[in-house]
Amino acid sequence: MRFSEYFLPTLRDVPKEAEIVSHRYMLRAGLVQQTSAGIYAWLPMGYKVLRKIEQIVREEQDKSGAQEVLMPTIQSADLWKKSGRYDDYGQEMLRIQDRHEREMLFGPTNEEMITEIFATHVKSYRDLPKNLYHIQWKFRDEIRPRFGVMRGREFLMKDAYSFDLTKEDAKYAYQKMFLAYLRTYKRMGLKAIPMAADTGPIGGDLSHEFIILADTGESEVFAHKDWLEKDITGQGIQYSDREGLNAYYEELTSIYAATDDKHDPSAIDASNLVTARGIEVGHIFYFGTKYSEPMNARVQDSNGDMVTVHMGSYGVGVSRLIGAIIEASHDSEGIIWPEEVAPFKIGLINLKVDDAGCREACEKIYADCQEQGIEVLYDDRDERAGTKFKDMDLIGLPWQMTIGPKGLEKGVAEVKNRKTGEKSEVSIEAAMTKLAA
């Protein structure tokens, strides 16, 4: 992509309404634009990152055996009356009337709808287990939308729903998601600690929130200091290895970690306790038959008896993750994207666009990158060098490659690693080989 043609409205000034760094950088780097309170339009570069995050989530869900569907954003109130949640959900639910004065709503979550879909089709234990997920926009009329996409009213969520014959099987489904979540966050360069959590309006008695420690986090959390050093990606564990997975789950959940509502000071020695703030990037629930019972989701078991299925639901805050990644990875100059989610791998800076040599060298590098499938943002604008460096640091691409007349005389480019700040002068060929790796 050529910077001169890209719709990338970077801002020099810090927007007043933005209280935390990720929100400031998202606005300044031209990733999103607020259209009403807590509702955002995604501009090209922000949308590119959002799609990368979504794709990582999708791949890890698929690997765990979950299957992707897509349910609508608009739901019928009748569904929610059936489960009994329509009145409980309160003012967070955006209620709508259609032209026939039928009560509809913009879905804040999909337990009811997926249970109805499941119950329509699945009648036998032979069709279990099932785990269905979608990645879809949700609406919650939050009382205090804030911190940009972190607490929006409209936001993108991955929500999965598992169906099993027994409680034991449902626990296995829960543990599979638990592992899939650890792996998902790790791929984005994040460490999300699973913490015992309250179940709120979703219900049930077993639940974990996945929390990234950050000073700007909305909630206070409590964890054993061992979490800080621990590698938590469950390396080598197979989803099919039920015992191995269970042992790993038990090992991790035996290390103390709790959100505010669940914290019990008597359960941990104060000398081991870390109190911090955290960002909730995922939340998983086991709630047994809370929805399947009222919504009649039953299957025949091997004896011919009708059994109500056991369910869980599993959410990842896909749009919130962009904010969380920036909170976890930035400096005073701007964003530092982890390579896996970066909108482009390389920022190619032409220091002197009116110099034929610089132009030619940059055009060649740009073409080579495209040929090799390396994502590059080529700053071909007629701007001062200082402006170009500032913008590149702000948008935070992992690598910067700078071409100027002086370097070209020696046949070299300057390559900078955005994260470490390390710069080196290398031949253009060597730079290409390094960056193609």
Catalog residues that contact ligand P5A under the rule CB under 6 A. Answer: 109, 140, 142, 151-152, 155, 157, 159, 202, 280-283, 285, 313-315, 317, 319-320
Residues 128-164 as b or e (16 or more Cβ within 10 Å = b): bbbbbbbbbebbbbeeebbbbbbbbbbbbbbbbbbbb
Nearer to ligand P5A, 313 or 350 (CB): 313
Rounded to whole angstroms, what are the CA distances from 312 to 7, 176, 286, 287, 291? 41, 11, 4, 6, 10
Rounded to whole angstroms, what are the CA distances from 377 to 2, 189, 268, 384? 6, 22, 50, 17
Nearer to ligand P5A, 279 or 362 (CB): 279
Instruction: Provide the minimum distance between the beta carbon of 397 and ligand P5A in the complex, in angstroms, as a whole number.
Output: 25
Instruction: Provide the minimum distance between the beta carbon of 317 and ligand P5A in the complex, in angstroms, as a whole number.
Output: 2
Quick check: 314 and 284 in contact, CB under 8 A?
Answer: yes
Instruction: Provide the minimum distance between the beta carbon of 53 and ligand P5A in the complex, in angstroms, as a whole number.
Output: 12
Instruction: Provide the minimum distance between the beta carbon of 258 and ligand P5A in the complex, in angstroms, as a whole number.
Output: 16
Instruction: Provide the minimum distance between the beta carbon of 27 and ligand P5A in the complex, in angstroms, as a whole number.
Output: 17
Nearer to ligand P5A, 208 or 330 (CB): 208
- Maximal CA-CA distance, the chain: 82
Nearer to ligand P5A, 134 or 263 (CB): 134
Nearer to ligand P5A, 24 or 153 (CB): 153
Quick check: 291 and 309 in contact, CB under 8 A?
Answer: no
- Encoding tokens for residue 299? 């299957």
Nearer to ligand P5A, 42 or 366 (CB): 42
Q: How far apart are CA 132 and CA 139, in angstroms?
A: 20
Instruction: Provide the minimum distance between the beta carbon of 115 and ligand P5A in the complex, in angstroms, as a whole number.
Output: 12
Instruction: Provide the minimum distance between the beta carbon of 378 and ligand P5A in the complex, in angstroms, as a whole number.
Output: 33
- Encoding tokens for residue 69? 């569907």
Nearer to ligand P5A, 105 or 358 (CB): 105
Residue nearest to ligand P5A (CB): 317
DSSP 287: E
Nearer to ligand P5A, 314 or 344 (CB): 314
What is the residue type of 398? P
Instruction: Provide the minimum distance between the beta carbon of 370 and ligand P5A in the complex, in angstroms, as a whole number.
Output: 35
60: left (phi over 0), alpha (psi -120 to 50) or beta: alpha
Contacts with 384 (C-beta within 8 Å, 6 or more apart), sequence order: none
Quick check: 161 and 311 in contact, CB under 8 A?
Answer: yes
Nearer to ligand P5A, 285 or 344 (CB): 285
Quick check: 149 and 40 in contact, CB under 8 A?
Answer: yes
Contacts with 76 (C-beta within 8 Å, 6 or more apart), sequence order: 102, 103, 104, 105
Closest by Cα among 186, 137, 209, 151 to 23: 151
- Encoding tokens for residue 435? 């960056």
Nearer to ligand P5A, 149 or 342 (CB): 149
Q: Coil, helix or strand for 9? A: coil
Residues 36-55 as b or e (16 or more Cβ within 10 Å = b): eebebebbebbebbbebbbe
Q: How far apart are CA 106 and CA 98, in angstroms?
A: 12
Instruction: Provide the minimum distance between the beta carbon of 342 and ligand P5A in the complex, in angstroms, as a whole number.
Output: 21
- Encoding tokens for residue 165? 């014959």
Instruction: Provide the minimum distance between the beta carbon of 151 and ligand P5A in the complex, in angstroms, as a whole number.
Output: 5
**∠ CA(141), CA(145), CA(148), 5° rounding?**
130
Nearer to ligand P5A, 157 or 376 (CB): 157
Nearer to ligand P5A, 54 or 142 (CB): 142
Instruction: Provide the minimum distance between the beta carbon of 152 and ligand P5A in the complex, in angstroms, as a whole number.
Output: 4
Instruction: Provide the minimum distance between the beta carbon of 284 and ligand P5A in the complex, in angstroms, as a whole number.
Output: 7
